Amino acid sequence: MSSQLWAICGGGGKGGILVREGQETTSAEIPERLATGAVVKELELVGDRLHYEKVRGDGPKTGWVNTKLSTGKILAVSVKPPDGVWRVMYYETPTRGEQLRLLFKLTGTPFEDVKLPKFPDDLDPYRSTMLGDSSPLAFDMSPLVQYNGTSIVQVAAAMQFVGEKLGLVGDTPEARAE
């Protein structure tokens, strides 16, 4: 059994995301939705289906939910991405997080793009007030870049980290200054 925590980020306009009793998407719906902002513990992950136990927030104590829709819209995000997976988390607006997204697109590097639609509330499930020491957000700030257990929230530091990891930084001080 995994101890991975997940934050529910979808279903904001509907009072949360749909919960089912079983793994199959045809299993019975639970009448109550799992609220946006809830934090759950992973019991089992089968493809995009998450069997969970609620840690905080409103909604059923346990059940099965989709982590994303067939359209690619993300409904639930693991607090820590799997090793080898890049993640950028920021709001949908093209502001401070956009240059990180552009860096990945420029290099053709695949990444999980978690776009939070509602400023500032959609960041709440990831803050230290909800997750304690498990929060990936230093000082509860964003945008967030995550890779292989490292979480960085300052844009300049994140750009430097990503650039170095992707081989965009020169080997000498002179090359780095160009």
141: its two tokens = 């700030």
What's the chain's average pLDDT? 90
List, as one string, the DSSP characters of the chain: ----EEEE-S-GGGTSEEEESSSSTTSPEEEEEEPTT-EEEEEEEETTEEEEEEEESSS-SEEEEESB-TT--BSEEESSPPTT--EEEEESSSSTTHHHHHHHHHHT---EEEEE-STTGGGGGGSHHHHGGG---GGG-S-EEEETTEEE-SHHHHHHHHHHHTT-S-SSHHHHH-
Establish how many alpha carbons lie within 13 A of residue 83's alpha carbon, considering only the half-sphere containing its beta carbon: 0
| The pLDDT of residue 177 is above 90 | no
pLDDT at 44 over 80: yes
Tell me what pLDDT residue 2 has.
66
As given in the structure block, the two tokens for residue 135 are 């929060």
Are 169 and 176 in contact by the 8 Å Cβ rule? The answer is: yes
Residues 9-20 have pLDDT tens digits of: 888 788 899 999
- Residues 57-81: pLDDT tens digits? 999 999 999 999 888 888 998 888 8
Nearest by Cα to 81 from 56, 103, 113: 113
- What distance in Å separates the CA atoms of residue 74 and residue 117, rounded to the nearest whole number? 11
In the predicted structure, residue 156 carries a pLDDT above the cut 70: yes
83-99 pLDDT per residue, tens: 899 999 998 888 888 99
Q: For residue 87, give the nearest of 134, 142, 146, 143 by alpha carbon.
A: 146
Paired tokens of 15: 């009072």
Separation of alpha carbons 126 and 39, rounded Å: 9
Tell if the pTM clears 0.95, that is, is over it.
Answer: no
CA–CA dist 174, 178 (Å, integer): 7
Query: What is the reported pLDDT for 62?
Result: 98
Q: Rounded mean pLDDT of 20-44?
A: 95
